[in-house]
Amino acid sequence: MVASLKEDDKTWRRVDLPYDDVHSVKDGITFHGRLHCRIYSYENPYRVITFDPISENFGLFPIPEPPKHKHFNCEIGGLGVLDDCLCMSRGFICDYDYGIEILVMKEYGVKKSWTSLFFIKNRCFDPHGEFAVLPITAADNGEVALLINAHKTELVVYNPKNDKMRKLFLVEYMSGCISAFTYTLNLKDTLL
């Protein structure tokens, strides 16, 4: 559900998800004038939707296919923007190996333009629990800031060149996780 407040009539409206099988909507990011969110259902935990605040329409967003391997489990860990490209993290479990892959969409909206930037193996998250890895920003030296939420929330910097990670900030919390996100329409968004 999205609560929408339009400039023209100043009234709040409820805009329901058009998908019946969704049991949770995870954190979102605004990019190209749309809100992008991870959605989960028991049948399909691997989807991203968009919400256009002008038309108030939802849509499924093209994401890369999960790798085809009979012992492979893949889940979207978070969405972000790196170098003006939409990016996502996905956690994977394959046999006894697990980790995070960071991908970027080089051409917005084009499924085939998803490109893998790097893998972080055997750390960052509990492969059997809930997790979120949100790519925050990339530095000129190639380091990437990630917000990792798996039993605790950490802001880390990962260097894919030497596979080193350093913690910048840690917040321990009790059970449960709440996320909220907002989007404010900017006239510049309507002109692009």
Least confident of 1-15, 46-60, 72-86, 174-188: 174-188
Domains of the chain with bracketed CATH: 12-173 (2.115.10.20)
* Residue with more model confidence, 14 or 142: 142
- Give the pairing type, strands 85-94 and 97-105: antiparallel
- What is the phi/psi pair of residue 142, to 5°? 95, -10
CA separation for the pair 88, 63 (Å, rounded): 9
Cα 42-134-24 angle, rounded to 5 deg: 25
134-161: pLDDT as tens digits: 788 888 898 988 877 766 677 888 899 9
**Amino acid symbol at 60:** L
Closest CA to 93 of 118, 64, 66: 66
Q: Which residues contact 36 (CB under 8 A, 6 or more apart)?
A: 28, 29, 30, 48, 49, 50, 61, 79, 86
Confidence of residue 87 (pLDDT cuts 50, 70, 90): very high
- What is the phi/psi pair of residue 189, to 5°? -65, -35
In this predicted structure, the answer to whether residue 181 has a pLDDT above a threshold of 50 is no
Structure tokens at 85: 């490209």
**Amino acid symbol at 138:** A
88-145: pLDDT as tens digits: 988 776 666 677 889 999 999 999 999 999 888 766 555 555 667 878 888 889 898 8
C-beta separation of 74 from 91 below 8 A:
yes
In this predicted structure, the answer to whether residue 174 has a pLDDT above a threshold of 90 is no
**Amino acid symbol at 12:** W
